[in-house]
Amino acid sequence: MSTETTDAGQSTPESESLLDSVVSQQRRELWARAWKRFVSRPMSVAGLLIILVVVVAALLAPVVAPYPEHAGKYTDFAAALQGPSLDHPLGTDHVGRDVLSRILFGYRLSLMMVGVVLGFGVPVGVVLGLVAGYYGGWTETIIMRLTDTALALPPLVMALAITSALQPTLWNAMLAIAALWWTWHTRLVQSIVASERTEEYVQAAELAGAGPLHVMFREILPNTLSPILVKVTLDAGFVILIGAGLSFIGVGVQPPQPGLGTMVSQGTNYLPDSWWFAVFPGLAIFILVMGFNMLGDGLRDVFDVEVNR
Amino acid sequence: MKYWQYLVRRLTGGVVSLLGLSIIIFGVSRILPGNPARMALGAMASEKQVRELSREMGLTDPLWQQYVQYMQGLLTGDLGQSLETKREVATDIAQYLPATLELITVAMMFTVVFGIPLGVIAAQNKDGAVDHATRLVAFFSVSVPGFFIGVMFQLIFGYLLEWFPITGRLASEYSVDRETGFLLVDTLAAGQVDAHLNVWLHLLLPALALSMAGMGQVMRITRSSMIDVQDQDYVAAERGFGLPSWLVTYKYTLKNAFVPTLTILGLLYASLLGNAFLIEVVFSWPGLALYGVTAVMNNDFNAVVGVTMTIGVAFVSINFVIDVLLGRVDPRIRLQVEEAT
């Protein structure tokens, strides 16, 4: 989105950099209008607020959590399985740890997973999608076949298979999900690029002597940003769900680390009497995923793009 | 493009995907640090024993030979032995697969039976109460973890209200001879009505929990395609001719609005296979997914490969069937494939 200052300005006449500044002016106005439409939707603003609150609380967990030391291998059996109270608003778990504190630290793990998976998956996926869509032919066939293969299994099952072959740890779970995630973005970007490739602005750039890199990254990429942004937002919720699912099964976050899915799984052993132990971590997952979905849904309307999860 | 050409192209795509999957799984299995022979024998085995078993298992052969052998096994249905159950993996899968298919099929039934009519009603009352309600449900259902819905169902309908059993497929006082492995069918075939009802009791919560995520999507997609279609001139003409409203809605409009729903249903069926992994764990459902999870936890690699490939084949087959149907229902899709290639 910040393509205001272009390299093209250095080596070309004044007039072209003027054109560039007009284009970037227009682009900025477009984003300003999008922002206006965004804030007029209560759902998407609420989604953004949920995410912000959770992210801040997670970042500040060591400060804001009532019992930061309960995040890890702490035990106080005298306080085990106490219901919600002023001391422990969301109760305590089977070894006497504060559930609220563990949820806050659990959010850190969930968000870290989102960061790692999307931080790897999105750039890789976008670049491959650009290349496949722009060059077409054999390059496209090979790349798209690869994505089809990675999508030949439900993501959870694929991640499970990969994680099982390595060791069931948080990092391997993230690695497994990241190894799949790029494919969705490759598909998305490839389909957009394939249709943009024949647009006049692309042909104009090519006639003006722009190289493939310039055309792909400077001309076409900016036009794929809004669908990618929508997809990334919806993805975040999906990654959290898959991560929680893997942890619930037992191949993601390992105890005593406070994975949200791990906590639900442990809590089910203490149903129905100590219901809070399973219910609150589950609700915590739901709230954050809901936030991302509300935001993503709003952004989809704002940019008026068709993006499926 | 002719219909058969379209089918051949789709089929080749599916087969290539499966080949790719087999390479990935094989690759992962041979890169992993642990020696399968060592795992089979346990920590107490001597170096010599491990080396002998390695040779016996073909682990010392060149990689490509191992792959060829592994593929031969896959194609002839020989998936090797499970380290955990000490039986053929293929036998295990044959035993556990029907339970999963039964669960998924009933879940799919719920999805269709509730999802499509609610989507139609929402479209007819656009921006009305039902429309908003389905939007909320759809939103809720994609945001809540499937396993958590299962846990909540257990807590509310199982533990607190005691309406439904919490785990398993059949109460222990009943015993049914295994014919197909589908308990709903087996109990009926044996004429055991009580047992049949008991199977339904066990099925209801997990199937409903499993169907939630898809139900929301089906509602929304049916709604939006119904809205697209019901604004068409020919629908107005049909109404103008005085055809009864239900006939126009359910016969003429829904039929044309069905293509996007069909696509989603195919994807859903496939994604149910994935989510079943979580639901089966929650409800201790003795299906393929629970078997797979147990295999993962025990490093039972042959079993993991077997389960993964079975699901891969199911996944690809479902997608192929959907392509076949779509190509029939909507010839334009064939043209799109042609343009895209």
Domains of chain B (ranges; CATH) run 3-76 (no CATH), 90-340 (1.10.3720.10)
Q: What is the mean pLDDT of residues A43-69?
A: 92
Cβ–Cβ < 8 Å for B198, B174: yes
Across the interface, do A268 and B142 touch by the CB < 8 Å criterion?
Answer: no
Q: What is the Cα A245 distance to its own chain's centre?
A: 16
Say yes or no: B27 contacts chain A, CB-CB below 8 A.
Answer: no
Across the interface, do B145 and A146 touch by the CB < 8 Å criterion?
Answer: no
Cβ–Cβ < 8 Å for A168, A247: no
Angstrom distance (rounded) from CA B309 to CA B71: 11
Q: Tokens 């031969």 map to which residue?
A: B72
Q: What ipTM was reported for this prediction?
A: 0.84
Res A155: pLDDT:
78
Res B239: pLDDT:
80
Token digits for B97? 């697969």
Angstrom distance (rounded) from CA A251 to CA B34: 17
Q: Is A122 helix (H, G, I), strand (E, B) or coil?
A: helix
The C-alpha of B336 sits at a distance from chain A's nearest C-alpha, in angstroms, of 13
Residues of B in contact with A272 (CB under 8 A): 155, 159-160
Give the CA distances from residue B293 to residues A26, A160, A285, B65, in Å, rounded to whole numbers and listed in that order: 53, 8, 22, 29
Shortest CA distance from A265: residue in chain B: B282
Res B83: pLDDT:
76
Res A5: pLDDT:
44
Give contacts of A 222-241 with B, CB under 8 A: 237, 241
Report the interhelical angle of B254-282 vs B146-153 (nearest 10°): 70
The C-alpha of A165 sits at a distance from chain B's nearest C-alpha, in angstroms, of 6
Res A305: pLDDT:
75
- Comparison of pLDDT for B76 and A244, the residue scoring more: A244
Residues 6+ apart with CB under 8 A from B181: B94, B95, B97, B98, B99
Say yes or no: B144 contacts chain A, CB-CB below 8 A.
Answer: yes
Residues of A in contact with B145 (CB under 8 A): 241, 244-245, 248, 261, 264, 282, 285-286, 289
Q: What is the mean pLDDT of residues A101-108?
A: 94
Give contacts of A 169-208 with B, CB under 8 A: 194
Residues of A in contact with B270 (CB under 8 A): 154
Average pLDDT over chain A reads 86
The C-alpha of B188 sits at a distance from chain A's nearest C-alpha, in angstroms, of 33
> Above pLDDT 70, what percent of chain A?
93
Token digits for A266? 């442990």
Cβ–Cβ < 8 Å for B51, B60: no
Res B35: pLDDT:
60
Say yes or no: A156 contacts chain B, CB-CB below 8 A.
Answer: yes
Residues of A in contact with B271 (CB under 8 A): 154
Angstrom distance (rounded) from CA B122 to CA B134: 7
Cβ–Cβ < 8 Å for B303, B291: yes
Residue A304 has pLDDT above 90, yes or no: no
Res A262: pLDDT:
93
Q: Which of A153, A237, A290 shows the shortest C-beta gap to B311?
A: A153
Angstrom distance (rounded) from CA B256 to CA B120: 13
Token digits for A232? 């990334």
Give contacts of B 276-315 with A, CB under 8 A: 277-278, 281-282, 292-293, 295-297, 299, 301, 304, 308, 311-312, 315
Least confident of A114-128, A244-258, B182-196, B245-259: B245-259
Across the interface, do A294 and B146 touch by the CB < 8 Å criterion?
Answer: no
A35-61+91-303 CATH, one of 1.20.210.10, 3.40.50.300, 3.30.70.270, 1.10.3720.10: 1.10.3720.10
Residues of A in contact with B16 (CB under 8 A): 145, 148-149
**Domain locations along chain A:** 35-61+91-303
Residues of A in contact with B13 (CB under 8 A): 148
Say yes or no: A294 contacts chain B, CB-CB below 8 A.
Answer: yes
Across the interface, do A286 and B18 touch by the CB < 8 Å criterion?
Answer: no
Q: What does pLDDT average to in each consecutive run of 10 residues of chain B (341 residues)?
A: 79 83 76 61 71 73 80 81 83 91 92 89 85 85 90 92 88 81 85 88 93 86 84 80 80 76 78 86 91 83 84 83 76 58 42
Across the interface, do B145 and A289 touch by the CB < 8 Å criterion?
Answer: yes
Across the interface, do A250 and B13 touch by the CB < 8 Å criterion?
Answer: no
Query: Which amino acid type is present at position B163?
Result: W
Q: Is A98 helix (H, G, I), strand (E, B) or coil?
A: strand
Shortest CA distance from B28: residue in chain A: A165
A260-276 pLDDT tens trace: 999 999 999 998 889 99
Residue A135 has pLDDT above 50, yes or no: yes
Q: What is the Cα A302 distance to its own chain's centre?
A: 19
Residue A162 has pLDDT above 50, yes or no: yes
Shortest CA distance from A292: residue in chain B: B143
Say yes or no: B41 contacts chain A, CB-CB below 8 A.
Answer: no
pTM for the structure as a whole: 0.85
Residues 6+ apart with CB under 8 A from A198: none
Say yes or no: A137 contacts chain B, CB-CB below 8 A.
Answer: no
Give contacts of A 23-82 with B, CB under 8 A: none
Say yes or no: B11 contacts chain A, CB-CB below 8 A.
Answer: no
Across the interface, do B278 and A272 touch by the CB < 8 Å criterion?
Answer: no
Res B179: pLDDT:
79
Res B22: pLDDT:
83
The C-alpha of B142 sits at a distance from chain A's nearest C-alpha, in angstroms, of 8
- Mutation for A interface: B148, B212, B279, most A CBs within 10 A: B148
> How many residues belong to chain A?
309
Q: Tokens 């919490």 map to which residue?
A: B166
Residue A258 has pLDDT above 80, yes or no: yes
Across the interface, do B281 and A309 touch by the CB < 8 Å criterion?
Answer: no
Residues of A in contact with B148 (CB under 8 A): 264, 282, 285-286
Q: What is the mean pLDDT of residues A213-237?
A: 89
pLDDT-derived band of residue A125, with 50, 70 and 90 as boundaries?
very high
Angstrom distance (rounded) from CA A116 to CA A238: 14
Res A9: pLDDT:
42
A175-189 pLDDT tens trace: 888 888 898 899 889
Shortest CA distance from B270: residue in chain A: A154
Q: How many CB atoms lie within 10 A of CB B145?
A: 25
Cβ–Cβ < 8 Å for B80, B252: no
